């Protein structure tokens, strides 16, 4: 047991711990906690469901731009990217905390999402250069799973501050800044090494894109479906009168616990093919969305839905990494970046479309649409299974 969590050196362990905390902060607290505090924000700033969707979409698009920029700079300037992640995340959440109107709040929310986009590619390089090669993949998996603990932390923070969402964003900024400094302190730049890393092309070939077509489409569809929970997850429970507004925070806690459970099930999931793992993960997500569409008023059902959705979403993101690695192992870093951008781009589309559906017809219809979109991502993967087993075409 001890061996599984050993990363070769004391410094490597610190990098993994602080890296996990930085993902927890930039993803779980800064980027994904928006939906947790949304009901209180909507009431105070008079923000409509459609307006909330536009802000979420803008945040997703800025995340995509930051991730693309980070992919180009991650191998050369990871420390600069950590600084950029901290500055954009902190400036964004502190701007949200001080916002007196929807426009100012929206600008802060959009800016803060760049932090997560910069953080991931930076940490890939930092983890690899500080952790022994034989432990690097396991270390990266642990760091990537930081979203789950971040969601749990967001739920705990929401309980502590109640409806005082401005305080929550202030605290989030302070935590993010502190963890960023810890990552920089733990990181040690290699003397002159770096060229041992495979020089993957920043401009993949046309055949590479063709091999990834189904994975990109599936990631986009899953992202669009997942936007229902990440943007409107707490709002649907408030609307259904499932429990008090403070009580709905327990659903977010369940979401975080489910996401964190991916670390426990990773050994079992790795035995499945990449597309089989993807299909299982998206099936679990689809079931969760249907439960929320038809029975959000039943507290235990809702909590179960959030628990399994949290697991399904994070497990699906891990499956994307395995999917691109199965297609072309030599360019798995490029594939991961592209598929994550596709997923978040899907979230941008989904947040806007679902916000409009909620405004027009209500939460139930929007969550049914999200479930259908998520189910479509399963079918895309089923078609791709044979292609993945053959490897790249060119």
Q: Which domains does the chain have, with CATH numbers?
A: 7-187 (1.20.1250.20), 205-387 (1.20.1250.20)
CB contact at 8 A, 342 and 219? yes
Q: How many other CB atoms are there within 10 angstroms of residue 389's CB atom?
A: 12
Tell me what pLDDT residue 74 has: 73
Min mean pLDDT across 201-205, 263-267, 269-273 is at 201-205
End-to-end CA gap in the chain: 41
Mean pLDDT calculated for residue range 12-30: 93
Of 337, 380, 116, the C-alpha closest to 224 is 380
Mean pLDDT (the chain) is 86
CB contact at 8 A, 328 and 307? no
Task: Give Cα separations from 110 to 19, 94, 107 (angstroms).
Answer: 23, 12, 5
Of 294, 303, 337, 323, the C-alpha closest to 387 is 323
CA gap 378, 39 in Å, rounded:
31
Of 106, 63, 56, 41, the C-alpha closest to 230 is 56
For residue 83, what are the contacts with CB-CB under 8 A and spacing of at least 6?
180, 184
For residue 328, what are the contacts with CB-CB under 8 A and spacing of at least 6?
208, 211, 335, 391, 392
Min mean pLDDT across 2-11, 213-222, 263-272, 367-376 is at 2-11
CA gap 272, 277 in Å, rounded:
6
Task: Note the pTM of the prediction, 2 decimals.
Answer: 0.80
Tell me what pLDDT residue 34 has: 87
Say which residue, 388 or 375, is predicted with more confidence: 375
CA atoms within 13 A on the CB side of 262: 29
Say which residue, 337 or 82, is predicted with more confidence: 82
Q: Which residue has the tokens 């501050």?
A: 161
pLDDT at 286 > cutoff 90: yes
Task: Give Cα separations from 216 to 1, 59, 291, 337 (angstroms).
Answer: 36, 20, 27, 11
Mean pLDDT calculated for residue range 295-306: 93
| Band of pLDDT at residue 8, cut at 50, 70 and 90 | low
Q: Which residue has the tokens 């490897």?
A: 391
Mean pLDDT calculated for residue range 265-280: 87
CA gap 16, 213 in Å, rounded:
33
CA gap 36, 31 in Å, rounded:
11
Tell me what pLDDT residue 203 has: 64
Q: Which residue has the tokens 């990537």?
A: 144
CA gap 217, 288 in Å, rounded:
21
CA atoms within 13 A on the CB side of 79: 11
Residues 187-198 as b/e (b if ≥16 CB within 10 A, e otherwise) read beeeeeeeeeee
Mean pLDDT calculated for residue range 212-232: 94
Task: Write the pLDDT tens digit of every residue in 44-102.
Answer: 999 988 898 899 889 988 999 998 888 777 777 889 999 999 999 999 999 999 999 99
Cα torsion angle, 316, 320, 321, 323, sign: positive
């Amino acid at each position: 047991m001890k061996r599984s969590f050993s990363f070769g050196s004391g410094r490597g362990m610190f990098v993994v711990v602080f890296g996990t905390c930085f993902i927890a902060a930039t993803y779980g607290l800064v980027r994904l906690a928006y939906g947790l505090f949304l009901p209180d924000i909507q009431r105070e700033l008079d923000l409509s469901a459609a307006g909330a969707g536009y802000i979420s979409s803008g945040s997703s698009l800025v995340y995509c731009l930051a991730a693309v920029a980070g992919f180009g700079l991650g191998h050369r300037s990871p420390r600069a990217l950590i600084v950029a992640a901290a500055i954009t995340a902190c400036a964004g959440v502190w701007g949200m905390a001080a916002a007196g109107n929807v426009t100012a709040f929206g600008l802060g929310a959009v800016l803060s999402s760049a932090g997560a986009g910069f953080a991931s590619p930076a940490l890939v390089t930092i983890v690899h250069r500080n952790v022994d090669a034989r432990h690097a993949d396991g270390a990266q998996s642990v760091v990537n799973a930081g979203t789950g603990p971040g969601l749990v932390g967001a739920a705990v923070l929401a309980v502590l501050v109640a409806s005082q969402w401005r305080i929550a964003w202030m605290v989030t900024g302070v935590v993010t800044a502190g963890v960023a400094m810890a990552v920089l302190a733990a990181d040690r730049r290699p003397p002159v090494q770096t060229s041992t890393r495979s020089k993957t092309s920043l401009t993949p070939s046309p055949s590479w894109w063709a091999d990834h077509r189904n994975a990109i489409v599936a990631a986009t569809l899953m992202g669009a479906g997942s936007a229902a929970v990440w943007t409107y997850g707490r709002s649907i429970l408030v609307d259904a009168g499932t429990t008090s507004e403070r009580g709905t925070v327990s659903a977010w806690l369940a979401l975080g616990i489910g996401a964190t459970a991916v670390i426990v099930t990773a050994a079992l999931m790795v035995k499945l093919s990449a597309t089989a793992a993807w299909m299982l993960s998206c099936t679990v997500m689809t079931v969760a969305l249907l439960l929320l569409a038809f029975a959000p008023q039943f507290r235990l059902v809702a909590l179960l839905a959030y628990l399994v959705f949290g697991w399904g979403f994070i497990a699906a993101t891990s499956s994307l990494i395995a999917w691109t690695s199965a297609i072309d192992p030599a360019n798995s870093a490029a594939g991961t970046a592209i598929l994550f951008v596709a997923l978040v781009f899907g979230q941008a589309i989904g947040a806007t479309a679902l916000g409009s559906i909620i405004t027009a017809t209500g939460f139930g219809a929007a969550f049914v649409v999200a479930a259908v979109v998520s189910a479509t991502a399963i079918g895309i993967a089923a078609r791709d299974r044979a292609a993945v087993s053959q490897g790249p075409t060119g």
